[in-house]
Structure 1
Amino acid sequence: MRGEGEVWARVALTRVADPGDEVMGRAVRERGAEGAWAAARAGERLPGAGEQRTAGYAVRAARADPGADLAAAGRAGARFVCPGDTEWPGQLDDLGLQRPYGLWVRGRPSLRLWALRSVAVVGARACTDYGAHMAARLGDGLARSGWVVVSGAAYGVDGVVQRSTLRADGATIGVVASGVDVPYPPGNAELIGEIAERGLLIGELPPGDHPTRSRFVLRNRVIAALTRGTVVVEARYRSGSLVTARRAAELGRVTMGVPGPCTSGLSEGVHELLRGEAVVVTDAAEVIEMVGEIGTDLAPRRRGPVLPRDLLDRAAARVLEALPGQGDAGEEEIARAAGASRDDTLGRLYELQALGFVERDNGRWKLVRTARDGRTRRAG
């Protein structure tokens, strides 16, 4: 655990600078959090900061009250986790100068441990029924496989996937663009409360802070860095979900997309991702194969239903293929077509007769037709 001065400085910086502020990030890296906060309070111009930004730092630093923020967080059942704590997820360090000063966390589980086996699922807020269906499938499947689902607790895909995860008694992390004591969007207040109660709710902004448009975009970098990979379910060309996926790719994480109808505007952004380095996924098993352990978390082999003829050995199948689709044939004809001897062909024909594939009539052989639709058994 960091010293009290370090913690208080980082708490203060969540008030002083916006999330992902690289000027302040550089100051923290070069001077430490306490040095960066001291510079902000003194109105010192940091490298890369103009006069307006420097003045803004100073005004916000004068108003910052770390003790009050920590007390407010405590009343909301939240804690502050920062770099150096045992609960800090080390993968967030990949963000470099945009690494959070710290995270406000609601929920009992360890953020570091939960993030180790997590996948982000994001997508359109105004999703279609198809998008909602696919998000629900992913949430349920990932939960039942023991993976932690990370999303933004927003309307649309985010809310659907996290509700589905909770219904399956799974683990989910909600990354919000407001204070963790401010349910946003208000229509998802019940969901956000349930995430905090049964999972983890995290955010960079201090208690009481409300989101802005830019903060939603900046929040996405945390989702991308925290998880092993990001799945996008429906997104337009300018969707924030694409920002998350592209940032994940930049960070070396796996990017995945669920394809949709080519005629749907809500699929155009996903398809654009899939034309690049993103991977097509259609269910949780395929997601897990991409982000899980190599050679272990493999998706099941996909194929159509097994037909009776699929169970035949190669020689019997070759004889079956040699029979004409219409009419009948003698044993010599069938043997020539199959490229086998007459005796071997005859043995195979009796085998196929016992299995119900062919029948013999007046010394000639023909395919058996099913009673249901008149098709031959060869056609399955």
Structure 2
Amino acid sequence: MTADGPPAAPPSAEDAAARAGLSAVAEPGDPVLGALLRTQPAAQVWAALRAGAPLDAPEGCAAALQGRLERWRARARGTDVDRMLTRAAEYGARLVLPGDPEWPSQLDTLAERRPHALWVRGAHDLRNACLRAVSVVGSRAASAYGLHVTSGLSHTLAERGWCVVSGGAYGIDGAAHRGALAGGTATVAVLACGVDVGYPRGHEQLFAEITGHGVLVSEHPPGTTPTRHAFLVRNRLIAALTPGTVVVEAGQRSGAMNTAAHAQELGRTLMAVPGPVTSALSAGCHRLLRDYQAVCVTSARDVIEQLSPVGTEPPAESGVRVGTELLDDTARRLLDALPERGSAGVAVVAAAGGLSPDAALRHLGLLAAAGHVERTATGWRRRTSDERRS
């Protein structure tokens, strides 16, 4: 089941255009629109907004819907979806919707606050990147201690095949992304603006590197500039995309504490790095440890132990990737099904491995995280041993 009702079929072109338009009309995570999309097709909602026609309010949402309709209708009339999609294509961005192979199903736990659509830019597959991932967040005005801990933590996590998810901001976020990139695994930056805007400006080069080796993702259409509220709303995605969140440094009232609250609300593992008792930047972490049952972590090994089923992690030597001898029988069958040269589609690999396409896609994502395969424009390919060592 999904947040919009029964299991989602691959979205149609009409549904895609409608959801693209809705991403420009409603605030991200608006529960009223989420409730509407649970009961009515996106194309029907979009057509009604464009025409100024009435909409059937979901149960309990009549007053809230009425308060939004005038604003949504005005925005819908001024939204050129074709132009929006053209701009996205010019910047190499794509629209990812519920039901798409790239959609991360863990976002469905957000229920009515689930994204209506995601704008994605980057060489990596978002769903597969987040199959084995951890969120690392913290203060923008980070200390030298916080930056050092974050860089080392993220680098080792990446060396062990874990994707690091963060918010692309200055400070801890930037150190998390840079450490992951240096470790050789995809990193995901969840932005509070369009994926073509590149905010903050000082991170333009970092965003270019993430585009080449990871994923930029946003609920906002191309060209959207950030607002203060947008940063808070996007924090729920950072928490929802991964099974656990690490807070490295955070003041008592901060965006990182907001992300931590979302992680706890969603039942994700919440972790915090202790700091000097004299540092205001660690006061939030100490509060999480004292009052919110966060797990104290001081290394990548601590993080991995919290997020991994017992007995599934490889030895903890730095730089060791998951070798083929550590793969289970299913993963080995899928790896053997991939050709030595060229690539193969999911359906072909699934048939060879005796799995459903969805199950095959999940296993391919884990193989990608371990460095054995990668997704191409025409399917999946096996990486050579030289590529895995590089």
Q: Which amino acid aligns with 2:129?
A: W
Counterpart of 1:177 (choices 186, 192, 195) is 192
Aligned match of 2:221: 206
Counterpart of 2:25 (choices 16, 20, 33) is 16
> Does the CA-based 8 Å contact 1:82-1:103 persist in structure 2?
yes
TM-score of the superposed pair, with normalisation by structure 1: 0.77
Which segment is superposed worse, 83-92 or 50-59?
50-59
> Does the CA-based 8 Å contact 2:32-2:65 persist in structure 1?
no
Q: In structure 2, how many angstroms separate the alpha carbons of the residues matched to 1:299 and 1:64?
A: 53
Q: In structure 1, how many angstroms separate the alpha carbons of the residues matched to 2:173 and 2:201?
A: 14
Aligned match of 1:280: 296
SS at match of 2:40: helix
Q: Which amino acid aligns with 2:87?
A: A
Residue 247 (structure 1) aligned with residue 262 (structure 2): yes
State the shift of 1:299 in Å: 8.6
Q: Which amino acid aligns with 1:278?
A: A
State the shift of 1:114 in Å: 1.0
Aligned match of 1:233: 248
Matches within 5 A, 1:212-231: 212-231=227-246
State the shift of 1:185 in Å: 0.5
**RMSD of the alignment, in Å?**
1.6
Residue 188 (structure 1) aligned with residue 203 (structure 2): yes
TM-score of the superposed pair, with normalisation by structure 2: 0.75
> Does the CA-based 8 Å contact 1:286-1:299 persist in structure 2?
no
> Does the CA-based 8 Å contact 1:288-1:298 persist in structure 2?
no
Residue 64 (structure 1) aligned with residue 64 (structure 2): no
SS at match of 1:97: helix
Q: In structure 2, how many angstroms separate the alpha carbons of the residues matched to 1:122 and 1:43?
A: 43
- 1:223-250: per-residue Cα shift (whole Å, max 9, x none)? 1111110000110111111111111111
> Does the CA-based 8 Å contact 2:250-2:257 persist in structure 1?
yes
> Does the CA-based 8 Å contact 1:81-1:102 persist in structure 2?
yes
- Radius of gyration: which is bigger? 1
What's the % identity of the aligned pairs? 49
Q: In structure 2, how many angstroms separate the alpha carbons of the residues matched to 1:23 and 1:215?
A: 17
State the shift of 1:49 in Å: 2.5
Q: In structure 2, how many angstroms separate the alpha carbons of the residues matched to 1:225 and 1:5?
A: 28
Aligned match of 2:333: none
Q: 1:235 to 1:278 in 2, by over 3 A?
A: same
> Does the CA-based 8 Å contact 1:232-1:245 persist in structure 2?
yes
State the shift of 1:35 in Å: 2.3
> Does the CA-based 8 Å contact 2:192-2:231 persist in structure 1?
yes
- 1:114-154: per-residue Cα shift (whole Å, max 9, x none)? 11101000000001001001101111110110000000110
Which segment is superposed worse, 49-58 or 182-191?
49-58
Q: In structure 1, how many angstroms separate the alpha carbons of the residues matched to 2:71 and 2:54?
A: 11
Residue 80 (structure 1) aligned with residue 80 (structure 2): no
Q: In structure 2, how many angstroms separate the alpha carbons of the residues matched to 1:44 and 1:189?
A: 43
Counterpart of 2:54 (choices 44, 56, 66) is 44
> Does the CA-based 8 Å contact 1:192-1:201 persist in structure 2?
yes
Q: In structure 2, how many angstroms separate the alpha carbons of the residues matched to 1:298 and 1:123?
A: 28
SS at match of 1:146: coil
Q: Which amino acid aligns with 1:98?
A: R
> Does the CA-based 8 Å contact 1:118-1:228 persist in structure 2?
yes
- 1:250-278: per-residue Cα shift (whole Å, max 9, x none)? 11111100000111111111111111221
SS at match of 2:29: coil
Identify which of structures 1 and 2 has the higher relative contact order when contacts are C-alpha pairs closer than 8 Å and 6+ apart.
2
Q: Which amino acid aligns with 1:69?
A: M
Aligned match of 1:264: 279
Q: In structure 2, how many angstroms separate the alpha carbons of the residues matched to 1:98 and 1:200?
A: 22
Q: In structure 2, how many angstroms separate the alpha carbons of the residues matched to 1:289 and 1:230?
A: 13
> Does the CA-based 8 Å contact 1:43-1:54 persist in structure 2?
no
Aligned match of 1:162: 177
Counterpart of 2:14 (choices 1, 5, 26) is 5
SS at match of 1:116: helix
Counterpart of 1:125 (choices 137, 140, 161) is 140
Counterpart of 2:116 (choices 80, 101, 116) is 101
Unaligned segments of structure 1, at least 5 residues:
301-380
Counterpart of 1:140 (choices 155, 159, 170) is 155
Q: In structure 2, how many angstroms separate the alpha carbons of the residues matched to 1:271 and 1:295?
A: 30
SS at match of 2:180: helix
Q: Which amino acid aligns with 1:103?
A: L
Q: In structure 1, how many angstroms separate the alpha carbons of the residues matched to 2:43 and 2:119?
A: 19
Q: In structure 2, how many angstroms separate the alpha carbons of the residues matched to 1:278 and 1:54?
A: 41
Aligned match of 1:344: none
> Does the CA-based 8 Å contact 1:230-1:245 persist in structure 2?
yes
Residue 296 (structure 1) aligned with residue 312 (structure 2): yes
> Does the CA-based 8 Å contact 2:157-2:183 persist in structure 1?
no
State the shift of 1:112 in Å: 1.0
State the shift of 1:161 in Å: 1.1
Q: In structure 1, how many angstroms separate the alpha carbons of the residues matched to 2:214 and 2:147?
A: 21
State the shift of 1:97 in Å: 0.4
Q: 1:255 to 1:48 in 2, by over 3 A?
A: farther
SS at match of 2:170: coil
SS at match of 1:105: strand
- 1:40-84: per-residue Cα shift (whole Å, max 9, x none)? 222536434365522110111111222111111100011000001
Query: Number of aligned pairs?
Result: 301
Q: In structure 2, how many angstroms separate the alpha carbons of the residues matched to 1:218 and 1:254?
A: 20
State the shift of 1:158 in Å: 0.2
